[in-house]
């Protein structure tokens, strides 16, 4: 065996030991977070680091999150385009039409998650088609523009354009304008909250209810996490910092964001539509979501808050068959049934 071969094999052994040691360190650091997860939701995947901290990592993250989920039987999906307007370009939307729908029906405008920086409407095929089929309503799933290429207010402009389109073409779509709800998960939930505030402040369009699934509402959680060491699974503090910085266009520290950019900062919540907020007690957004729900109630807005013990962020997407996540989504569906079904 030559000296060069011995050096190569020794280097390979050292690299292997270092890799195993690195994995062990990650496991040890994440073990307390995984221990807090509800037993029905635990998965080896929770030990995999998920932090998104740079633009360089965005393409891979977008590919991973951009996979289409299955469409429920009995629902047809078509693509339509909201015409371009003064607030931005045309917007692609997916329209979910159940085979059985009494006209005019209610409708749900849905906004996907992804931290404002990733995600596609197709990732929510299953949820949107399930809502359409279960409630006999039309669901419109919005392909809004993403940061950092398109920072605030691009995504919100696209969202309100889509809402106005549903109202304007309600007769053609077979929709009752008095029964149009909005909703979203994670960043999509934050967008829905911003959309409700903007619609209120601009005098419409009308919204029957807002469904906020572990919504991303308040950029100040970035600083709170830094001060307290708060962290969480699947959407950690590091990802939250990167996403808010991208969405708000890298504003200087200490500068308040524009109106409607971070809905959790809004002082006046009176006059907003009835609201459902669901979040896990170990989610990074738990504090900001509970605070928002309490302030909605204090402002006279009907609000139903569901805090699920041991539910990590986006657990319903990672473990959809669990009794915990099924009950969580069923509660949201019940609220929609009462509002628009």
β partners of residue 140? 95, 109
User: Residues near 114 by Cβ (< 8 Å), separated by ≥ 6?
Assistant: 65, 123, 146, 186, 187, 188
Instruction: Please say if 40 is a catalytic residue.
Output: no
With beta carbons less than 8 A apart as the criterion, state whether 182 and 210 touch: yes
Identify the helix (H) or strand (E) that includes residue 139.
strand 138-143
Selecting among 38, 125, 260, 313, the annotated active-site residue is: 313
Selecting among 129, 159, 186, 194, the annotated active-site residue is: 186
With beta carbons less than 8 A apart as the criterion, state whether 316 and 38 touch: no
Instruction: Please say if 283 is a catalytic residue.
Output: yes
With beta carbons less than 8 A apart as the criterion, state whether 212 and 184 touch: yes
Closest CA to 89 of 140, 157, 147: 157
Selecting among 283, 289, 316, 322, the annotated active-site residue is: 283
With beta carbons less than 8 A apart as the criterion, state whether 271 and 196 touch: no
Closest CA to 257 of 292, 225, 284, 222: 222
**Side-chain half-sphere CA neighbours of 135 within 13 A:** 29
Kindly list the catalytic residues: 186, 283, 313
């Amino acid at each position: 065996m030559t000296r060069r071969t011995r050096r190569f094999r020794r280097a390979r052994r050292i690299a292997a030991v270092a890799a195993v040691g690195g994995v062990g360190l990650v496991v040890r650091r994440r073990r307390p977070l995984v221990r807090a997860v509800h037993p029905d939701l635990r998965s080896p995947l929770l030990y995999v680091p998920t932090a998104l901290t740079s633009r360089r990592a965005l393409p891979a993250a977008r590919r991973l999150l951009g996979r289409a989920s299955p469409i429920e039987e009995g629902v047809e999906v078509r693509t339509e385009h909201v015409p371009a307007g003064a607030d931005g370009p045309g917007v692609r939307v997916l329209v979910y039409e159940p085979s059985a729908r009494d006209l005019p029906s209610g409708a749900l405008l849905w906004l996907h998650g992804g931290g404002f920086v990733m995600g596609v409407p197709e990732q929510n095929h299953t949820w949107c088609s399930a809502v359409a089929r279960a409630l006999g309503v039309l669901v419109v799933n919005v392909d809004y523009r993403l940061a950092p290429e398109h920072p605030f207010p691009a995504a919100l402009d696209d969202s309100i354009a889509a809402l106005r389109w549903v109202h304007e073409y309600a007769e053609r779509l077979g929709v009752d304008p008095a029964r149009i709800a909005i909703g979203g998960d994670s960043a999509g939930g934050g967008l829905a909250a911003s959309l409700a505030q903007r619609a209120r402040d601009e005098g419409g369009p009308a919204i029957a209810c807002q469904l906020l699934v572990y919504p991303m509402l308040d950029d100040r959680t970035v600083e709170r996490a830094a001060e307290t060491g708060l962290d969480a699974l699947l959407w950690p503090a590091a990802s939250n910092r990167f996403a808010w910085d991208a969405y708000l266009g890298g504003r200087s520290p200490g500068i308040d964001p524009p109106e409607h950019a971070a809905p959790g900062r809004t002082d006046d919540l009176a006059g907003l539509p009835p609201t459902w907020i669901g979040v896990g007690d170990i989610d990074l957004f738990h504090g900001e979501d509970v605070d928002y729900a309490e302030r909605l109630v204090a402002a006279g807005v009907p609000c139903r808050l569901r805090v699920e013990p041991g539910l990590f962020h986006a657990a319903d997407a990672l473990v959809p068959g669990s009794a915990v996540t099924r009950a969580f989504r069923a509660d949201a569906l019940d609220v929609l049934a009462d509002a628009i079904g």
